Amino acid sequence: MTAVVIAVGSELLRPGRRDTNGDWLVERLLDLGIETRWRSAVDDDVERIARLIATAWKDAGVVLLTGGLGPTEDDRTRDALAVAFDAPLTRDPAMTRWITSMFSARGRVAGPRQWRQADRPQGADWIENALGSAPGLLVERDGRVLAALPGVPAEMKAMFSATVAPRLAAAGGGALARETLRIAGRPESWVDEVVRDLYGTRGTETTILASPGSVELLVTARGADEAEARARLAALTGAMRARLGIDLFGSNEETLAGVVGHLLAARGATVAVAESCTGGLLGAAFTEVAGSSAWFRGGIVGYADDVKSSLAGVPAALIREHGAVSEAVARALAEGARAACSADFGLGVTGVAGPGGGTADKPVGTVHLALADDGAGRTLKLDWPGDRELIRKRAVTVALDLLRRRLLA
């Protein structure tokens, strides 16, 4: 089965707005084995919404609409459904009473404005809204399903899960299973090369996505039922895992900082940081993990060179000799963090994030990373270009991965 997802609301066409309801529905549909063929965001115009509904109704077995079901003049989804299905709106007396009673239960009075929410096109059923006053609408015809849900995310999600999803699961042919594999410390082209010949595996689909310093493989598998879909998924991701080895750091919602935290917690160890160019981002990544106080001690942001010396104990002479962006200073930062915060491991980061500050010798993108432990530690140099944000994020990811590999060694 296939789907079309349409979000209604002029505000969704404003700069900076995103149709997060659509994002959510596309994912939930995939969980039900239903792939979305197209999705749209459309303004509050009856004719345009109706034309998109009519086009969608030709294209897919499932059509999901969000928004435009409230009581105001701007809420036009009901009218658009009436136009698209050529089915006049009639006001449902039972729903009118329910809306009135819902309002009076909250000490408010419902009038003609609110009663508009009791209008529905002939042949449509109500979808109950347990959290708000705007009911949804359901049209089932010729094996096709259309559901119109409110734009308020909490109401939309509750109604989809309670009413729409079970109906789609019952009607669905086949099932999908999916998993995201997460890789650090390798470029996208390397990952692509390693797993590329598996992309064509029957009944599966793989998408590769790159983030600063990490790569994701989004794998979905289709089967006649959930068991078959899961078996196919497990076979394919198993093959990928075997090839990726230690470069694979986790799956699905796991984060690199979270994985490192688990490894630290498992051995009762702690970490501290001393950052220059990342300015606190590495500490922020560690402390994004709930419960990180069990293994994250703290850190130093040594942005000015004399702060590197006074707080992290980096000798001023070392900075003079090698420059602030150097392996020697990264190592001293890592050791300083470890000592100053009494941690088992210390991470040090120093680099040129740009846009200014680059030299022929140390261009923008040069980052030195160091790990201090009870032995010789480890160091790493990055020299890939990028903008300030990319260079900083990549440095954080690679620093986390440096510690992860040390903990697995």
CA distance 275 to 396: 10
Q: Which residue has the tokens 């590197």?
A: 308
Q: Is 15 in the site for its own copies (CB under 8 A)?
A: yes
Residue 280 touching its own copies (CB under 8 A): yes
Contacts of 327 (CB under 8 A, 6+ apart): 368, 370, 379, 381
Asked, as a colleague might, if the bond just before 355 is cis with ω within 30 of 0, I would say yes
CB of 266 to its own copies, least distance (A): 19
Q: Which is nearer to its own copies, 40 or 129 (CB)?
A: 40
- 51 lines the binding site for its own copies (CB under 8 A): yes
Q: Which stretch binds its own copies (CB under 8 A): 77-85, 117-125, 377-385, 388-396?
A: 388-396
- Which amino acid makes up residue 233? L
Residues 137-196 that bind its own copies (CB under 8 A): 178
Q: Please, which residues have CB within 8 angstroms of residue 385's CB and are 6 or more apart in sequence?
A: 363, 364, 365
Pull the structure tokens for residue 334. Answer: 């890592």
Q: Applying CB under 8 A, which of residues 38, 103, 126, 199 lies at the interface with its own copies? A: 38
* Residue 112 CB coordination number (10 Å): 8
Residue given tokens 């997460």 in the structure block = 182
What distances in angstroms separate CA 379 from CA 236, 347, 406, one per listed residue?
A: 35, 10, 11
Q: How far is CA 58 from CA 29, 30, 53, 120, 295, in A?
A: 18, 20, 9, 22, 56
Backbone angles phi, psi at 71, to 5 degrees: -90, -5
Please report whether residue 391 would count as binding its own copies according to CB under 8 A.
no
Our finding on whether 359 is near its own copies (CB under 8 A) is no
Is position 302 an interface residue for its own copies (rule: CB under 8 A)? yes
Residue 304's φ and ψ, nearest 5 degrees, are: -80, 145
Closer by beta carbon to its own copies, 102 or else 210: 210
The residues in 56-95 that bind its own copies, with binding defined as CB under 8 A, are 58-59
Options 48-56, 138-146, 164-172, 248-256: segment touching its own copies (CB under 8 A): 48-56
CB of 214 to its own copies, least distance (A): 13
Q: Determine, following the binding rule CB under 8 A, whether residue 315 of this chain makes contact with its own copies.
A: no
- Determine how β-strand 89-91 pairs with β-strand 175-184: unpaired
C-beta closer to its own copies: residue 161 or 293: 293
Q: Which of 1, 32, 40, 185 binds its own copies (CB under 8 A)?
A: 40
Encode 160-170: b = buried (16+ Cβ within 10 Å), e = exposed: beebbbeebee
Among the candidate windows 41-49, 80-88, 185-193, 260-268, which touches its own copies by CB under 8 A? 41-49
The least CB distance from residue 35 to its own copies, in Å, is: 7
Contact 398, 380 (CB under 8 A): yes
Is residue 41 part of the contact set for its own copies (CB under 8 A)? yes
- Residues 334-353 binding its own copies (CB under 8 A) are 340-342, 353
Residues binding its own copies: number (CB under 8 A): 75
Q: DSSP letter at 79? A: H
Indicate which single residue of 237, 278, 350, 397 sits in contact with its own copies (rule: CB under 8 A): 278
Whole-number minimum distance, CB 348 to its own copies, in Å? 14
269/307 with CB nearer its own copies: 307
Spatial separation of the C-alpha atoms in residues 172 and 162, rounded to whole Å = 16
* Residue choice 114, 163, 292, 366 for contact with its own copies (CB under 8 A): 292
Of 90, 193, 224, 303, the one binding its own copies (CB under 8 A) is 303
Residue 316 binds to its own copies (criterion: CB under 8 A): no
**Footprint of its own copies on 194-213 (CB under 8 A):** 207, 209
Which residue stretch of 38-46, 77-85, 107-115, 189-197 sits at the interface with its own copies (rule: CB under 8 A)? 38-46
Q: Is 306 among the residues that bind its own copies (CB under 8 A)? A: yes
Element (H, E) at 263: helix 256-266
Query: Do residues 136 and 159 make contact, with C-beta atoms less than 8 angstroms apart?
Result: yes
Mapping DSSP to helix (H, G, I), strand (E, B) and coil, where does residue 384 land?
coil
Q: Which is nearer to its own copies, 42 or 99 (CB)?
A: 42
